[in-house]
Every structure is written in C-alpha cells, then in structure tokens.
Amino acid sequence: MTSRDRILQQIKLNKPAETLLPQTTRFDSLYENTEDKFIETLTAIYTEVIVVKDLAELVRKAGELYASVVNRATTIPALADWADFSLNDPDPHALELIEIAILQAEFGVAENGAVWISDTHLPHRALPFITQNLAFVIPRNAIVNNMHDAYERLHDTTGWGCFISGPSKTADIEQSLVIGAHGARSLVIFLLEDA
C-alpha cells in the first residue's frame, strides 16, 4: 500500500465523530469611515497613503516622489513614460535592478491595511518583493471593511495572489523593529479618486 493510502486509511480509522461547521463564520466591522481606518492602520505600519484625484495627478506625484530614482518599473499604462525599466524580460532575476515599482493592486482592507495583488495584474510574481521600493495604486472606492469582506470579494484566487501590508520588516535582532528585511524597503499607496 502506498503511504498515501495508508495515511488516509489511518485517518479514517482514527478521526473523531462527525462535527458540523459553525453557523456563523463572518463578522461585520463597523468603522465610521473605512478609508480613515485604512489610512490609520497603514500609518502605524510605516506606509504613506496619498490620495490623488486622477491619473494626471498620479503621474505628477510619482514624478516628484521618485524624481532621483532610476530603474523604475510599472504596470500602470498612464505611467509608461515615467518608467525606464521594461518588464518584458521573461527571467525574473532581471528584476534585481529595480529600485521602484508602481503597481496596480485590486483592493485594500481597512482592519489591517493589507492590499490584494495578484498575477492578474502582474507580469512577474517576484516583482513586489524584489524591487527595493514599492508603491500600489488602488481605486479609492476599493477599500473593504475586514477580511471576511475581502474573501467575499476574492471568491476564488488566480494562480497566485498576496495580501501585502506595509514594507518588509523583521524584529529578529533583540526584538528591535527594522524595516526592509528581504522585500521592499518602503511602501506608498496611491488612492485614485477617478478610477
């Protein structure tokens, strides 16, 4: 008998009597203002949130913010001129040179400041991690209350997706918080009004 069959057979023999799933599995978080909560949560985890009126303002703000940075990449068509790094290379190792990436994310979660990003909008899964600095653009009206709402929205994931909440961090050296462990050293979130 294979290990698979033996394990499954043992489980069948040893498992406890049937229990049912809990009736309630979701809760409403009622924040007075979801956007305020989202921004408050992100500020506490070293993430700047910038509200921009339209794509033109996004282009202007991005230009200002990352004026001196080279090796810029983006998945936002309106920023194509701003970017100087092509994402066409099929080898993710080539991304090692990227200093800043501005990427489309799908929505944010107020309770924990996470944004959902998936390979629907990404040419490379490694991109949000390997870039030195990171910015996301999400529509201003795409902020949900909590994780229950988030999964209602997700329903099913694509090949890969990730909740990202703040820049990479570690506290492994005597519990001192250090920003920038392996992933992005900084995170900015642009909330786009007219999406």
Partner 1 sequence: MSKTIIEHSVASETFNKDEPYVDWHDETLWFVRQKRDKSSKLLPEWEQLREVASGIKNYVLSHMDELLIAFEQKAKENGVRIHWAADAAEHNEIVLGLLRQNNIDKMVKSKSMLTEECHMNEFLSKNGIEVIDTDLGERIVQLRNEPPSHIVLPAIHLKKKDIGDLFHEHLGTEAGATDPQYLTEAARQHLRDKFLTRRAALTGVNFAIAETGGFVVSTNEGNADMGAHLADIHIASMGFEKIIPTQKDLAVFLRLLARSATGQPITTYSSHFKRPRAGQEMHIIIVDNGRTTQLGRADFRNSLKCIRCGACMNTCPVYRRSGGHSYHNAVAGPIGSILAPNLDMTKNADLPFASTLCGSCSNVCPVKIDIHDQLYKWRQVLVKGGHVPQAKEIGIKAMSVVLSQPRFYQWSGRLGRSLMRTVPFVVNNGMNPWFKQREMPEPPKESFRDWYIRNRKE
In the complex, least distance from residue 178 CB atom to partner 1, rounded to whole angstroms: 4
Candidates 11, 67, 77, 88: give the one binding partner 1 (CB under 8 A): 11
Distances (CA, A) of 170 to 21, 39, 99, 130, 131: 36, 22, 20, 16, 17
User: Closest approach of Cβ 37 to partner 1, in Å?
Assistant: 11
We find the least distance from the C-beta atom of residue 43 to partner 1, in angstroms, to be 13
The DSSP annotation for 16-78 comes to: PSP-PPPS--------S-HHHHHHHHHHHTTEEEEEESSHHHHHHHHHHHTTT--SEEES-GG
Stretch that binds partner 1, among 59-67, 75-83, 99-107, 146-154 (CB under 8 A): 146-154
184 binds partner 1 (CB under 8 A): yes
By CB under 8 A, residue 121 contacts partner 1: no
Work out whether 7 is an interface residue with partner 1 (CB under 8 A). Answer: yes
Smallest distance from the beta carbon of 99 to partner 1, in angstroms? 14
CB 140 within 8 A of CB 195: yes
First to last CA, the chain: 57
Stretch touching partner 1 by CB under 8 A, among 50-58, 62-70, 78-86, 127-135:
127-135
Stretch that binds partner 1, among 50-58, 61-69, 77-85, 165-173 (CB under 8 A): 165-173
Confirm or reject binding of residue 181 to partner 1 (CB under 8 A).
yes
* C-alpha span between 99 and 150 (Å, rounded): 30
Judged by beta carbon, residue 34 or residue 146, the one nearer partner 1 is 146
Considering only residues 48 to 87 of the shown chain, the ones binding partner 1 according to CB under 8 A are: none
Nearest distance, CB of residue 106 and partner 1, angstroms: 13
3-state secondary structure of 152: helix
Q: Over the range 102-111, which residues count as b (16 or more CB within 10 Å of their CB) and which as e?
A: bbbbbbbbbb
Burial class from Cβ neighbours inside 10 Å (0-12, 13-18, 19+) for residue 57 reads middle
> Which one among 75, 107, 111, 191 touches partner 1, defined by CB under 8 A?
111
